[in-house]
Amino acid sequence: MNFAPLPSVDAAAVPSDGFVLDVRENDEWAAGHVEGALHIPMSDFVGRFGELTESAEDGRRVHVMCRVGGRSAQVTQYLVQQGIDAVNIDGGMQAWDGAGRPMVTDNEAPAFVL
C-alpha cells in the first residue's frame, strides 16, 4: 500500500488569520490556546464532527493542533480522508509557543502549554 505523507505545516507558518482546530483535552485548552481556535477534544471528535464541517464549509484550510503533534496527526489524517483541506501543525502547541506565537486563556491568566 502507498500512503501519502501527512500534510503538515510549521507552527511559525500558520497564517495569523488561519483556521485552527485544537483537539487537546479541556484542561490543556484552559491552560492556553490560540485565540479564535475551534476546540473539539479528540475524545469528542467523531460526535462533534458537524461543528468542524460547519466552521470549514467555506473550504478554508484547517490547521490541526494538539500538544506535540500526535493526536492532531490522527485527526488530520481522518479529515483528509473526508476530503477536507487539513494540515497538521508540526510540534503542536509546544512548537507554537516556541515560535513566540500568541496564546490566550479564557480567564486572563498567563497562558502556558500543559
- Residues identified as active-site: 66
Residue for grid cell 481522518: 78
Burial of 86 (0-12, 13-18, 19+ CB in 10 A): buried
Asked if 65 and 101 touch (Cβ cutoff 8 Å), the reply is no
| Region label for 81, one of left (φ > 0), alpha (ψ between -120 and 50) or beta (otherwise) | alpha
